């Protein structure tokens, strides 16, 4: 991986992911999410970490998903006609596991693609290491 990591939107979110980091685990990105539900998404070399503000409707929860449990990752980019790509366009990504599906809406069009590419790379690495 190239230098410049971790990528993050908010220092306090990066600090929250860092506080729960496992020994030897490296953080690559922490992205803030739009709208209700998911607060932010952390991407490490071992798992994704979802800080979910609406977990079980009333609690805050940190959900960890190892790459071996992710079945699919998909990124959608919906660029605005006038705004094009960038901060004002929509950027979505979805992840599925055997039992759940998660949707994320990022702040900025390129962030879903960065997250998608990182997650896909770690999924492939995990599959080859088994």
CATH of the domain at 113: 2.30.29.30
Count Cβ neighbours within 10 Å for each residue of 39-52 and write b for 16 or more, e otherwise.
bbbbbbbbbbbbbb
Distance spanning both ends of the chain, measured CA to CA: 20
Domain presence at residue 48 = yes
86: domain range? Answer: 7-129
Domain presence at residue 109 = yes
pLDDT in tens, 51-103: 876 655 566 778 899 999 999 999 875 655 444 554 445 588 999 999 999 99
| Cβ-Cβ contacts under 8 Å for 118 (sequence gap 6 or more) | 28, 29, 43
Domain presence at residue 1 = no
Task: Give the H or E element holding residue 44.
Answer: strand 38-44
Domain presence at residue 74 = yes
What is the pTM assigned to this prediction? 0.84
Domain presence at residue 79 = yes
| Phi, psi for residue 106 in degrees, rounded to 5 | -90, 165
């Amino acid at each position: 991986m190239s230098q410049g990591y971790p990528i993050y939107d908010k220092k306090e979110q990066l600090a929250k992911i860092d506080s729960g980091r496992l020994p030897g685990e490296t953080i690559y990105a922490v992205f803030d999410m739009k709208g209700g539900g998911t607060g932010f998404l952390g991407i490490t070399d071992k798992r994704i970490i979802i800080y979910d503000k609406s977990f079980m409707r009333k609690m805050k929860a940190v959900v960890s998903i190892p790459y071996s449990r992710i079945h699919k990752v998909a990124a959608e980019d919906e660029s605005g006609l006038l705004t094009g790509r960038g901060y004002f366009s929509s950027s979505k990504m979805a992840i599925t596991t055997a039992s759940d599906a998660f949707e994320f809406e990022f702040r900025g069009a390129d962030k879903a693609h960065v997250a998608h590419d990182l997650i896909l790379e770690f999924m492939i690495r995990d599959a080859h290491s088994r």
